[in-house]
Amino acid sequence: MGHKLVWQGGTVLGPLPLVLVTSRGPDGRANLMTAAWCGIVCTKPPMLSVSIRPERLTAEYVDASGEFGLNLVAADMVRQADWCGVKSGREYDKFAECGLTALPASKISAPLVGESPLSLECTVRERLVLGSHILYIAAIEAVQVDADLVDSSGALDMGRAGLAAWCHGQYHSIGEDLGYFGFSVRRRSRIRRERRV
Amino acid sequence: MGHKLVWQGGTVLGPLPLVLVTSRGPDGRANLMTAAWCGIVCTKPPMLSVSIRPERLTAEYVDASGEFGLNLVAADMVRQADWCGVKSGREYDKFAECGLTALPASKISAPLVGESPLSLECTVRERLVLGSHILYIAAIEAVQVDADLVDSSGALDMGRAGLAAWCHGQYHSIGEDLGYFGFSVRRRSRIRRERRV
């Protein structure tokens, strides 16, 4: 146990998911924004949150449409995600500039990012102005997942998606598998049966 | 770009932070709970969210005290975190069972986990019942960080903390460094200057 420094409060939580938030404006224009201030907030019904600065074009589009896509970033998309995090959709067509594919969603009008291994289609349920950021709490209406991440039993292996993470100013890949939920108390054979149900 | 499967909504976001939520009951008893449904929700003021099932002892303690600690889990703590995620504080003294050190916090009455490389001291600002989980939105009042993660200029290198992540039912380590924020458009020398301000 190391010596501790006590600091004033700061946003030093990690690793955080690195995502591209997709949205569509009232004029039909699609936009992309990089975010890491997001997370799951409820299992049933499945809900997530994402926080966006009010001055961002994405906040304008999400407020107008009540919808957005959350597209996970693979390690080989980090340069594009970084660029989308520092540039504004008011000045660039980010899909075109990054060579990313706008894929139709199944339940929302916003596009998804075709290159993302996993995309979540979301509709806004709550909106809280917290300070520098607006917190959007949204229902996850549908998920689009690369077929090659799913095994023959229908189980998703997220570890194979090669996802990137955000760690306090740095992008990181995901490392080795350290175990499955319940490994400290259960036999794997039982877990496997449960996950197939 | 792979073939996509379209699924109904689910909580397939990742990687997510793996944390131990510490709390103290009205009788002074300390408890630990493992969580991954958490994230940053605001930069200024620094705020985070964590979602907890109402039937958990931690929800009872957080509701009574309005405070909790969020303690990041290093890869070598994953077995303890897994055990704390499947057992209840109503039946076990989890600090004692796991051999973890209850460290006094600076701003809250709940203890922190001494073995965690980073701990955040939080006070609840909003509480939303969403379904299976209660969403707690909290101010980050203080941070305790292992001194050996901080360089001589005072910068925190979170990549050196050896943190664990939660990826859809599996624990993972954090992998290689893929770049710093702004690397796609800036020179590193300029970023370094900015981070020291």
Joined together, the tokens standing for residue A13 give 């939580």
Which pLDDT score is estimated for A197? 38
The two three-digit tokens of residue B75, written as one number: 């890869």
DSSP assignment of A29-98, as one string? -EEEEEE--EEEEETTTTEEEEEE-TTSHHHHHHHHHSEEEEEEPBGGGHHHHHHHHHS-TTT--HHHHH
Residue with tokens 């924020």: B181
Residue B4 in any domain: the answer is: no
Quote the pLDDT of residue B24.
98
Average pLDDT over residues B14-26: 98
Q: What is the pLDDT of residue A164?
A: 98
pLDDT classification of A193: cutoffs 50, 70, 90: low
**Complex confidence, ipTM:** 0.94
The answer to the question of residue B112 being in a domain is: yes
Q: Residue B80: its chain A contacts at CB < 8 A?
A: 184
Residue type, B36: A
Cβ atoms within 10 Å, residue B2: 12
Mean pLDDT of A65-93: 96
Residue pairs spanning A and B at CB distance below 8 A: 344
Domain presence at residue A147: yes
Taking residues A43-66, report their average pLDDT.
Answer: 98
pLDDT tier, A187 (very low <50, low <70, confident <90, very high otherwise): low
pLDDT (mean) for A74-102: 96
Judged by phi (left if over 0) then psi (alpha if -120 to 50, else beta), residue A168 lies in: left
Spatial distance between the Cα atoms of B52 and B135, rounded to a whole number of angstroms? 7
Mutate to test the interface with B, among A4, A19, A52, A186 (most CBs of B within 10 A): A4
Tokens of A79: 């340069």
Chain B positions in Cβ-Cβ contact with residue A175 (cut-off 8 Å): 172-176
CA distance A26 to chain B (A): 25
How much is the mean pLDDT over chain B?
Answer: 94
> Contact A172/B173, CB-based, under 8 Å?
no
Residue B6 lies in a domain: no
Tell me which residue in B4, B172, B182 faces A146 most closely, judged by beta carbons.
B4
Q: What is the pLDDT of residue B185?
A: 93
* pLDDT tens, residue by residue, B38-87: 999 999 999 999 999 999 999 999 999 999 999 999 999 999 999 999 99
Contact B118, B72 (CB under 8 A): yes
Rounded Cα distance between B40 and B23, Å, is 19
pLDDT at res. B63: 98
Nearest to B142 among A7, A106, A185 (CB): A7
pLDDT of amino acid A194: 52
pTM (predicted TM-score): 0.94
Residue B27 Cα, gap to closest chain A Cα (Å): 27
Taking residues B84-111, what's their average pLDDT? Answer: 96
Task: Name residue B115's amino acid.
Answer: E
The answer to whether position B9 is within a domain reads no
Q: Domain containing B41 — which CATH number?
A: 2.30.110.10
In a domain, B126, yes or no: yes
Confidence of residue A2 (pLDDT cuts 50, 70, 90): confident
B3, part of any domain = no
Q: How confident is the model at residue A190 (pLDDT cuts 50, 70, 90)?
A: low
Residue A11 resides in a domain: no
Q: What is the rounded average pLDDT of the residues B145-172?
A: 95
Three-state secondary structure readout of chain B = CCCEEEEECCCCCCCEECEEEEEECCCCCEEEEEECCEEEEECCCCEEEEEECCCCHHHHHHHHHCEEEEEECEHHHHHHHHHHHHCCCCCCCHHHHHCCCEECCCCCCCCEECCCCEEEEEEEEEEEECCCCEEEEEEEEEEEEEHHHECCCCCECHHHHCEEEEECCEEEEEEEEEEECCCCCCCHHHHHHHHHC
Q: Which amino acid is at A171?
A: Y
- CB-CB neighbors (< 8 A) of A6 in chain B: 106, 142-144
A186 pLDDT tier (thresholds 50, 70, 90): confident
- Where do we find the tokens 């946003």? A11
Domain total for chain B? 1
Confidence of residue B196 (pLDDT cuts 50, 70, 90): very low
- Least confident piece of the model among A67-81, A175-189, B21-35, B131-145: A175-189
| 8 Å CB contact of A117 and B176 | no
The string over B177-189, giving b where at least 16 C-beta atoms fall within 10 Å of a residue's C-beta and e elsewhere, is: ebbebbbbeeeee
> Quick check: B113 pLDDT over 50?
yes
- Cβ distance B128 to A135 less than 8 Å, yes or no, reads no
**Domain of residue A136, residue span:** 16-196
pLDDT at B197: 38
